[in-house]
Amino acid sequence: MNTCVIALGSAHGDDALAWHIADRLNDNDTLTGTTRVIKTDRIGPEWLDYWAHADRVIVVDAVHTGAAPGNILRCRLWPDPEGTLDAQQITLSSHDLSLAEVLDLAIALEQAPSELLLFGIEADGCRPGDHLSAPVRAVLPLFMDILRAALGCHTTSQPPLNTDLETIDQ
């Protein structure tokens, strides 16, 4: 299975967590030849090119759901049997398109991946100049294990992804 990991973030505080994770994947892991890792600071139509040859896409990002900082979130965005990712309701984006709009565009153009997953960590703060917060740093090893297992480059005892929305409390 070809997998594209899109690490979405910035250099600021916990928003940088996806870039940290992408760097660790690229530097320390033996990724299979079927995995591509992309670091980006924005969502846009170029994502259709990123995942052009991928069966599965994993978006890694800082999330803000109201849970405790450091909570791990795994969410299947597509296929979306519940219809929770409604592009018409998610139009706010400071640049180009929102993720829901990009996915909607990809579906319309028959360029959507077979599966789109979101792997996130609840952020504590994203102030310019800040480093990763303590709760996010603490959970990074577990998050890496989960991601490596999903990518097939490491074996752990992590549970399989068997629900559409799952949080892992620390």
Partner 1 sequence: MSEQRIQVPVLARVEGEGALDILWRDGAIEQLQLRIYEPPRLFEKLLEGRDCREVADAVARICGICPVAYQMSALHALEAIVGCTPGPWVRAMRRLFYCGEWIESHALHIHLLALPDFLGFHNAAEMARTHADAVRRGLRLQALGNDLIRLLGGRSVHPVGACIGGFARAPTHAEAAALVPRLASACDEAIDLAHWCATLDMPAVAQDFTSVALQHPDEYAMNAGRIVSDRGLDIAAEAYETHFAEQQVAHSTALHSLLDGAPYLVGPLARLNLNRAQLHPAARALVDTCGIAWPSRNPFHSLFARAVEIVHALHEAADILRAYREPMRASAEWTPRAGSACWATEAPRGLLWHRYTLDDNGLVQAARIIPPTSQNQARIEADLRQTVQALGSAISTDTLRRRCETVVRNYDPCISCATHFLRVTVRGVP
Footprint of partner 1 (CB under 8 A): 41-42, 45-46, 48-49, 87-88, 91-92, 94-97, 101, 104-105, 107-110
Count of CA atoms in the C-beta half-sphere (13 A) of 59: 25
Nearer to partner 1, 73 or 107 (CB): 107
Nearer to partner 1, 90 or 168 (CB): 90
> Minimal distance in Å, beta carbon 58 to partner 1?
22
> Minimal distance in Å, beta carbon 130 to partner 1?
18
Nearer to partner 1, 1 or 108 (CB): 108
> Minimal distance in Å, beta carbon 118 to partner 1?
19
